[in-house]
Chains A and B, each alone.
Chain A
Amino acid sequence: MIDTAKFKPKTVYVTYIASTPAKVWQALTDPAFTRQYFFGFAVDVEPKVGGAFRLLAADGSVQVRGEVVTWSPPHRFASTWRVEGMKGYGDLPACLVSYDIEPSGEAVKLTMMESHSWDVPDAILKGGQIGWPKILSSLKSVLETGKPVAMKMEGPPPEMKEAVRKALAEKPWQT
């Protein structure tokens, strides 16, 4: 089990959705939903703490692999993340992605936090800062209108690839 106390939130995204906590929970944990808004990835999660967490591309390849850290329907879902789908990224230390679901009036407040256990360069954080608004905007649209906002996943910017290469060479998390 990982020591979550070592992880600090680096990227936070909040969205409010006209839906119920149970439906937002389903949208985050049911592959039929995630395929619609998460760049076509299907979530595959063992519904228990310590269970396996994966995001699978349409061809079945593993894009993200991790372990469930919190499974508390319909309030909080957290897992570790290793991005195996992009070369080199899978060798970085795992990050922690958590979703908090709270009622807010007749709507739901969804808070995503991407936390890291080491001093991640801004260039590497950029990937999540670009991706999360797309993913969570589209999740909101799926729940409110039944239709995702069409999104294309962009490849990582050159400075992000360079930052990953440098991090893997220097391994600053080991010091």
Chain B
Amino acid sequence: MSKPVFVYVSYIASTPDKVFKALTSTEATGKFWFGNAATSDWRPGSPVTFHREGKLILKGEVLEYDPPRRLSYTFKPMHDELYSGEQPSRVVFELEQQRDQVKLTVTHDDFAADSKVFASISNGWPLVVSSLKSYLEANRVLWAPWYDKQAAAAS
């Protein structure tokens, strides 16, 4: 069984600078990423953490920080025991200016062959990137219906 790779491409009417800033800003990620705010000094080797309502959701290590072209970090979900046995995977964002728009390619790989995280991110990235596009183009964000389901299940 080959190791899974997830690739998602979106075209955003924006500039590479703005897209790169949104991906690395605590304020912007907190908005478009359904409240998951990123914190890091973005030096290669430094930690990156995502907190939502004070809770650690995701952590990783910065691998590449090359504004405004390329960003990558390791990726380990922390919010659910389901994923606790897995090694960190890796996500790479590539930004390419094409006329008056940005081609954004998200490549997520380095999973174990039977990864549970893979199924989760395959659902997640289309919504995260759709929300990022809405945030930059229309100044609005989308929200994640699965958080409502989790909240309902927990109460």
Contacts and interface: CB of A to CB of B under 8 A. Distances in A.
A65 interface: no
Contacts of A61: none
Contact of A149 (B8, B13, B142): B13
A138 B10 CA distance: 9
A15 B99 contact: no
9 contacts: A15-B10, A16-B126, A16-B127, A133-B9, A137-B11, A137-B133, A140-B133, A141-B133, A145-B13
Given A104-B127, A133-B8, A149-B101, 15 more contacts: A14-B126, A15-B130, A16-B126, A18-B134, A104-B145, A105-B143, A105-B145, A106-B142, A106-B143, A133-B9, A137-B11, A144-B137, A145-B13, A147-B13, A151-B11
Main secondary structure of the interface of A (DSSP, over half): mixed
B12 interface: yes
Interface of B: 8-13, 99-101, 126-127, 130-131, 133-134, 137-138, 140, 142-145, 148
Interface of A: 13-18, 104-107, 133-134, 137-138, 140-141, 144-145, 147, 149-151
Main secondary structure of the interface of B (DSSP, over half): mixed
Contacts of B9: 133
Contacts of A104: 127, 142, 145
Contacts of A144: 134, 137-138, 140
A103 to B, nearest CB: 9
A134 B101 CA distance: 11
Contacts of A141: 13, 133, 137
A16 B140 contact: no
Nearest to B145: A105
